[in-house]
Homo-oligomer: A and B are copies of this chain.
Amino acid sequence: MTHPTMEDVARLAGVSRALVSLVMRGSPKVSEQRRKAVLDAAEQLGYSPHAMARSLASRTSTVLGVMVSDLHNAFFAEVVDGLDAVARDEGFELIINTGGRSPSREKRAVSSLLGFRPAGLALLGPVVPPTTLATAADQAPTVLVARSSRLSTLDTVNDDGEAGSGLAVDHLVSLGHTKIAHLDGGVGSQAPQRRRGYIAAMQRHGLTPWVIPSEYTDIAGAKAIRQLLEGGQLPTALVAANDFNAVGAISALEEAGLHVPQDMSVVGYDNTSLAGLRHVSLTTIDQPRHEIGRLAGEALLQRVRGERTEPIRKLLHPSLVVRATTQARS
């Protein structure tokens, strides 16, 4: 349990500590003979370099800190995958930390990450106040995902929620629908963008927007629909806040004896794995999650390498995935 050090390896190989350091860093200016001796000694002792000591001595870091606001959200898992891919390619490694959607825990998570003096920081869906973002961006190059900011010291990468809702509306209009309602995501992140996009698209088509308050859960979706059914007036199509909300809405419709998509078309948002299940088969809007992660990683590394200091604001285009919950208006 007590690890051998460079000194130990050097002694066993009969060389100096500096030479071992050169070998470990793959320097070309080491004779084959010595290199082999060092490698053998390291192998024999089970030596592995002490990343922290290295980072301390070299005053550089190959660590990128990632704060994930919510580990349960599969969206972030895929973003992390994208980040991981570019980081690995460029010789960086990720340390991930979770904030549990609580501002105070997130703040602690970020400063814990900062304690490692990472080369850069990626904050995925942070809910901390802007001042905390500013402080973080002050200490290390920072990129924000699924959260916008006007701060010039950091980059942002986001899904274009307005465009996504627009795609949903366009799709429904092309199927002949005109009475299209939006189930609003309330306080959920990205909800305002999605609502704005819906309203703008409706107006673009000369239709009257109809926003129904709801939330990002299936329970809320079902509840909104039950209230709607009591009211009498019904739309012929729904643009739901997200997939969960859509599934809840569909359940409530079916309980009331209505069929999807025959009586009502429904479009979700996020293209979660849920939407892809054949039992659900939900028409939805897909965010390029992996791409978002890749771009965030690239933006971050550009800053880390000092190749850029102006902020970048990436807005990625979502796409429509047509499945079985939408059809032409009958």
Contacts and interface: CB of A to CB of B under 8 A. Distances in A.
Interface string A47-76: 011111101100000000000000110100
Contacts of A97: 93-96
A185 to B, nearest CB: 17
B3 A117 contact: yes
Given A138-B46, A139-B3, A279-B248, A51 B84 contact: no
A100 interface: yes
Nearest to A96: B96
Given A80-B98, A98-B84, A116 B219 contact: no
Q: How large is the interface on A (under 10, 10 to 19, 20 to 34, 35 or more residues)?
A: 35 or more
A227 to B, nearest CB: 16
Contacts of A94: 97-98
A280 interface: yes
A8 interface: no
A78 B74 contact: no
Among A80, A115, A116, A117, find the residue whose CB has the most chain B CB atoms closer than 10 A: A115
A128 B162 CA distance: 44
B72 A78 contact: yes
Given A80-B98, A219-B278, A111 B48 contact: yes
Interface string A12-34: 00000000000000000000000
Contacts of A74: 72, 74
A20 to B, nearest CB: 16
Given A72-B78, A98-B84, A115 B50 contact: yes
A77 B70 CA distance: 9
Given A96-B97, A97-B96, A140-B1, A247 B277 contact: yes
Contact of A77 (B48, B72, B219): B72
A51 B314 CA distance: 33
A154 B240 CA distance: 48
Nearest to A222: B278
Contacts of A280: 279
A250 interface: yes
A114 interface: yes
Contact of A117 (B52, B93, B98, B117): B52
A274 interface: yes
Nearest to A109: B93
A216 interface: no
A193 interface: no
A198 interface: no
Nearest to A246: B279
A129 to B, nearest CB: 17
Given A50-B56, A81-B100, A219-B278, 6 more contacts: A52-B56, A74-B74, A80-B98, A94-B98, A247-B279, A254-B279
